[in-house]
Amino acid sequence: MNIYEILDQQEKNKKIRKNNFFNNKLLEELITKSNYQKKDVAGLLGVSKGLVSQWTKNKVPSLFLYYELCNLLEIDYSILLKKDKRSD
């Protein structure tokens, strides 16, 4: 395989993982146990806020949620630093 075939296969695998994850109840559980805004979750995942609202059922989405999503979707963790601008 050349480099382009390898990159193409990695992209296909990522899409498959992402689709499987969205169909999993784990996503709903992660969001309902977190403390970030629904719009942030929607922006990170590239989905509508309405869809996130369906998943959260009026609870607010933590850094833990984003960390887990980054792991599962293979997104660079540096996005977490950009999202977390709150002071402790």
As for how many domains the chain has, the answer is: 1
* Contact between residue 60 and residue 34 where contact means Cβ atoms under 8 Å apart: yes
Is 12 a member of any domain? no
3-class SS shares of the chain: helix, strand, coil, % to 5: 70, 0, 30
Is 10 a member of any domain? no
User: pLDDT per position in the chain (88 positions), as tens?
Assistant: 688 887 888 787 777 666 665 555 666 666 666 666 777 777 777 777 777 776 665 555 555 566 666 666 666 666 555 554 444 4
Question: Nearest CA to 18 among 78, 72, 77?
Answer: 72
Is 75 a member of any domain? yes
Three-state secondary structure readout of 43-55: HHHCCCHHHHHHH
Is 49 a member of any domain? yes
Domain around 62: 35-88
pLDDT of residue 65: 60
18: Cβ contacts below 8 Å, ≥ 6 apart: 72, 73
